[in-house]
Structure formats: C-alpha cells, structure tokens
Amino acid sequence: MRLQRWLYDHFRNVGTLCGFEEYDAPVLERQELYKRKAGEEITQQMYSFTDKEGVEVTLRPEMTPTLARMVLGKAQSLMLPLKWYSVPQCWRFETTQRGRKREHYQWNMDIIGCKGINAEVELLAAIVLFFKNIGITSKDIGLKINSRKVMGAVLKSMGVTDEQFAPVCVVMDKFDKIGPEETQKELRDTQGLDADTAKKLVDCLLCKSVDDLAALCGEGVDRSGVDELKRLFELADAYGFGDWLVFDASVVRGLAYYTGVVFEGFDRLGELRAICGGGRYDRLLSLYGAVQEVPACGFGFGDCVVVELLKDKGITPVLPKEVDFVVAAFNEGMQGSAMKTAAALREGGAQVDLLLEPKKKVTQTFDYANRVGARYMVFVAPQEWESGKVRIKDLRLGEDVPDEEKQLDVALDDLVKVKEVLEQWALTKKMGAVKV
Ligand code: HAM
C-alpha cells in the first residue's frame, strides 16, 4: 500500500499540476455501455452478471465509456473543454502475466471538447512529466505515435469502407502479437478483404515515417491527419519532450472508438507490455446519444507495468514505515496520561503511535519505536508528569550524542505545538555547537 500510495500520489499530482480535476464513478456499470460490435478483446474480458433486478451489469474494464456517460448526463451544465482525471480500479478477465492482472488501477486523463492536436500534446506532456517525476527518462521509455485519421485515409484509398474501418483496426492491432502472415489471414477471413488489400494494409503498418505512410494515400486523399501529426511533433519539441516521441505506424490500438491520434508508452528494451495508451475518440459520445460530435481524447495508464519498470531499473522507492512519535506510558497506571499526551500531539498534527501495553523493559519500548520507524519517543512517567511535563527523546541522534542532549522535557500545554518546540530546540543546539 505504501508503494501504491506513492504511485497514485504521483498520478494525482500530475493531474493537478496540469490543471485537471479529479472525478470518480461507480465500479459497476450496465453491460450495455460496453456493447460494441468491432470484436474488441475487452468486450470478451468482462466480469459480468445479472443483478437482483434482472439488470445485466459488469465491473468496468476501463473508464472511458463511463466518462462519456457521465459527461453526457451533465451535458447542459458543463463548460467545455473539460480536463478530468481519475484513478479507477478496473477488471479484465485476462491471462495474468508480468504487467497484466485481472484487477488493476488505471490512471486516466481526458480532455473533452477540444478539437485540435494541442489537446493530445497536453496529454503527452502530462505522461512525460509523470515519468520524469518518478525518475524515468526518455532513454528508458518512448511514446509511439500514430494517427487513425491518416490510417483511415490510406485504408479508404484502398477500398476499406467507413463501417469496416474500426473492426479492421482491431485486427491490425494484433500485428505485434501474431505477426504479418496471421494478420493478413485474419483480415481476409474475418473482415472479408481480398488478399491484395490485406497485404497492402499490413505493409502500411511497417511504414517508418509519416511521409512514407502519407505516400501510400496517393493523390486527392485527405491529408489533414498527416499535417496534424507533423504539428504534434513540432509542438512536442516546443514543449521540450520531442525526444520521447517515435512515429510508429503499427500502433493502431485495440479499442474501436479511436478516431485520430493514437499513442502508446513502451520500454526501449522491449521487455514489457504497453505501459500506457490512449488517443482521440471524437465519435464515442455521439454513439451514446450526443446530438452533435463532442471531440475528446485521453489516455489510460496502468499501475502494473510501471512498477515492473522501476524494479528492473532498480529505482523502486524505499518507503519504510514512519511515524513522528511513539508515546509510551511508564506503567499501566500512567496509560491515561499517555493517552492525553497522544491526543494533544495529534491535535497539533503529529503522527502518533500509542504503545498499548507498557513494556516491562525500556529496551523493549525502544525496539518497538524502532520497528514502527518513530522519530521521537515520548515517555510519560510520574516524575515529569507531576511537574506538568513529558520527556521527548530524539531517536535519530547517534550513539556519540550524550543522552541529556537527546532529550527535552516539554510542558503539556506546548504539546499541540510540539513541532515548533522541537524545531526551536534543534536550532538552539546547532547554535550551541557553533559557539563551541
Ligand atoms: P488500454 O490500452 O486498454 O486503454 O489500457 C490502458 C492501459 O491500462 C494499458 O496501457 C495498461 O497500462 C493498463 N492496463 C490495461 N489492462 C491491464 C491489465 N489487465 N492489467 C494491468 N494494466 C492494464 C484503455 O483502457 C482506454 N480506455 C484508455 C483511454 C482513456 N483512452 C482514452 N482515454
């Protein structure tokens, strides 16, 4: 949980730093929301059941349809563009493997209501900021970029219809896993493409640059997607993260709803599954009933692969248990006074672990404080208590420091502002040392 909290704090911090607002939603959704006909894997991986009212529900496999539903539900009252983030738990009945689990948390950032490529660049900037914040560089990670708009134009020029486009993309997305032969076979068998078109489509996936891909379009084909992609790379340079981006025509993404730029985070060593992925989905809200097209784009970033990456790099953060104070009563008779002490310290914002059963030996109390990572020990003993004080001992000072310099008697009334008192004490000791 400490590692999880650390990671999610970083997710949320980036969301906030980029001016996004956090949202959440129920984990249970109507199955209907995920009924798409393009043959996406995700629709076959759901944990679904019929509830006691006979409604077919499912544990969400992803957040995007939920977000679309929420935005539509509030369409009248929301000011676009929306910039929203969330860290939802998602379920997919997948074959579990390194970086893929049946239950995962997925950081999502989405922008609703912005047509232009600036939105995609903003999302990519957020991903890069996150990586930098956790110590990962562009040498470890790259972001593969492609555009379904460009793919769409190319495919159209090869005779693939608008209706065929989404399911064809879902098949093309398997290219990495099943290779060129199988992809062509599946395009022929399941999408009814002729052998020549299937081969040409697979050739598209191997294009090395935006221009190569555009060249396949030929004359008279919509080039707006190409211009957009070029602008995206320019803006990424302007933003200062151009070195993270790589054009890759084989990234089409396995979800049917993407319509424009698509992207995926990958490890440069090629050992891990996709780290994150997203893109533009301008028609998803219309699919759910929006009267006009609502431009949208976003990404999902799981909590599993990134942890594997940190492990491989040897930079998983060391996050020991820590607490400011252990409060220990001298004996059972002093337990009430120890409780009063703990209450005052907590009121002042300190983290306090109250020892519940006074130990027989002082060394056992210190062992306990050590185990829970306490910075200070507060002894609540009759002698100080009678003069309205408790004894605080700094546990991080070394053996070489004499005991009387490690401890301070603090008045009960000062416990609520103990942090100030201790800072002042540390300062006085430092000044004393300078004088010597
Ligand atoms: P996705 O590519 O299916 O996209 O998932 C996004 C990310 O979620 C993956 O790159 C991975 O980090 C993580 N992920 C997915 N499945 C698992 C799993 N079984 N175990 C661990 N991590 C997993 C989507 O879900 C889109 N809804 C993203 C999006 C948001 N597009 C626009 N907005």
Q: pLDDT digits over 266-303, tens only?
A: 999 999 999 999 999 999 999 999 999 999 999 999 99
Q: What's the CA-to-centroid distance between 63 and ligand 1, angstroms?
A: 9
d(CA 262, CA 260): 6
33, 60, 106, 294, best to mutate for ligand 1 pocket (most atoms within 8 Å of CB): 106
Q: What is the pLDDT of residue 212?
A: 86
Q: What's the CA-to-centroid distance between 16 and ligand 1, angstroms?
A: 21
Q: What is the pLDDT of residue 428?
A: 87
Do residues 375 and 396 lie in contact, with contact meaning Cβ atoms separated by under 8 Å?
yes
C-alpha dihedral, 99 to 100 to 105 to 108, nearest 10°? 80
Q: What is the pLDDT of residue 126?
A: 98
Q: Residue 111 to residues 5, 88, 135, 210: CA-CA distances in angstroms?
A: 25, 17, 26, 25
| 366 exposure class (CB count in 10 Å sphere: 0-12, 13-18, 19+) | middle
d(CA 163, CA 149): 14
- Phi first, then psi, for residue 37 (nearest 5°) are -100, 10
Residue the block writes with tokens 């956790």: 134
Q: What's the CA-to-centroid distance between 52 and ligand 1, angstroms?
A: 30
33 Cβ contact partners less than 8 Å away, ≥ 6 residues apart: 65, 66, 69, 288
Q: Whose CA is nearest to atom 23 of ligand 1?
A: 302
- Which pTM value belongs to this model? 0.94
| Pocket residues: Cβ below 6 A from ligand 1 | 62-64, 92, 94, 100-101, 104, 106, 108, 110, 255, 274-278, 298-302, 304-305
C-alpha torsion sign, points 93, 94, 96, 98: negative
Q: What's the CA-to-centroid distance between 61 and ligand 1, angstroms?
A: 9
Q: What's the CA-to-centroid distance between 319 and ligand 1, angstroms?
A: 27
Q: What is the pLDDT of residue 217?
A: 67
Q: What's the CA-to-centroid distance between 291 and ligand 1, angstroms?
A: 28
Beta bridge partners of 30: 57
Beta bridge partners of 97: 100
Q: What's the CA-to-centroid distance between 279 and ligand 1, angstroms?
A: 11
317 token code pair:
């953060």
Of ligand 1's atoms, which has the minimum distance to the CA of residue 297? 32
Q: At what angle do helices 162-172 and 175-191 cross, to 10 degrees?
A: 140
Q: What angle do CA 206, 180, 151 make, to 5 degrees?
A: 45
Give the residue ranges of the chain where pLDDT is below 50. Answer: 436
Q: Whose CA is nearest to atom 10 of ligand 1?
A: 276
Of ligand 1's atoms, which has the minimum distance to the CA of residue 96? 19
